Structure 1
């Protein structure tokens, strides 16, 4: 009978002991890194508990209410194989911040533990935290000081003047050398002058006159004189006659030997006389007449050039030219 009672008592203690050990093994803890923080600073608030390895821990949601504190982030961490009897330590770390000054309380927190079919709730005690202003520390008050008065820095005027003078002299020497070598190069290099044929030269002068503003500015006397002078200069260079000094009559007599057609000779005569009338203010042409005068000059130049080419094909004339 006594043996039976001992067995009953042993079974009772064996059934109650795991429950007591389980309650004691939870070891819930709530803590903050500091009890006094500066307004706006972030600080961690940690809830930790030791539970069986297969248990599921549910921490309060970040928006479930933390009093005057604002939750910036939340992280759940598990430390395995740290404790005996297949236990694990689970931590819920909240990053908090406060934006009001004073003493505030982080309220009690309820953590739910699900272990198989068993579910329980653990209550974590409240914590006091003081939120202070930035300059609360006496050591910090000395950081803000009055602005020091300005002070003068001695300026090395003599050194600056010497440097500027040296730069000026150096620049003058470089400029003189560059100018000297440019002049020397210009003297040493032979000047290449391209001599155009009289016909090509006359054509270019006509183009220059046409591009000018004689007709736009109604400078008809200068215009007619310039155009007629191009033809006279061509005759003087190409046929070696003193055409620039000849009168209209003398020039017509001198060109009779060219054996021009009667129409060409008559056109040339009228063309020369038109220039004389304008030059001596006996005729005031229009702009259209001036443009036609240049067209006739091109045609007359081509006629004289044909005469020159035909003479070059004749041996007797080519020797004379």
Structure 2
């Protein structure tokens, strides 16, 4: 019986040793007394078992807090003896308010099997922040001195003036050389700064149609956007080509106004077909087939090509040297 009792005691002791105890949390500040604006370290140590999981606190700079986080250091392993671990986490903080502050008890999050808990350090940590003491009896206080203006000396800027004059001469020489070069080519210096002449309406319309084709709107089921863009291109072209306010007109008003433009029969029929199809899509929510979308695009393209103004061919200027020889 005595042997059985001894065996039970040994088994209970082994079971107690097999179950790790709860981690121990300690914390301290170094140094615990600083001047305002200085930095200090908050050190949190955890003694725990190897299988236990702890998460150290996360500090955030909150408005009105007497301290601010400057740097968070990685976790260090101080000791490791079998299953026993001692971990250390260090935070560098700074204080900007005078006084003696109670920073509370640091805590860590503890997880072991089905247990999740918050473990607190046993003691609170205190920080004393002092400021500079000024002895007004031994130190005199004076007003701020006014700004001291030194006399100007040309030697201080003579180097900049010489380099500036040299750069100006080089620019003038380059401009003169460019002017002589342009005159030798029969051009004027002012031609370099002239704005490019506006493009003809049909060129603008063709470029807009090609850009619309590359957007692939109707291929992505955006039929309303496709026909709105297509008719806007034609309205802009008609307004520039015949000086008609097509942008503010309805489809019927545009068709009626274009009767006096003496369009080719096919061009007039194509314009009417495009505007009718666009109205069905925009207002009746019709969904045309792919062949109709492509056909309307080609009708718009050929409408612009068939109705564009004929480009004037440049005439060759007579050579004055030939006139003198004759």
TM bracket (short chain): 0.3 to 0.5
TM-score (norm 2): 0.37
TM-score (norm 1): 0.37
Q: Higher helix fraction: Structure 1 or Structure 2?
A: 1
- If you compute each CA radius of gyration, which structure gives the higher value, 1 or 2? 1
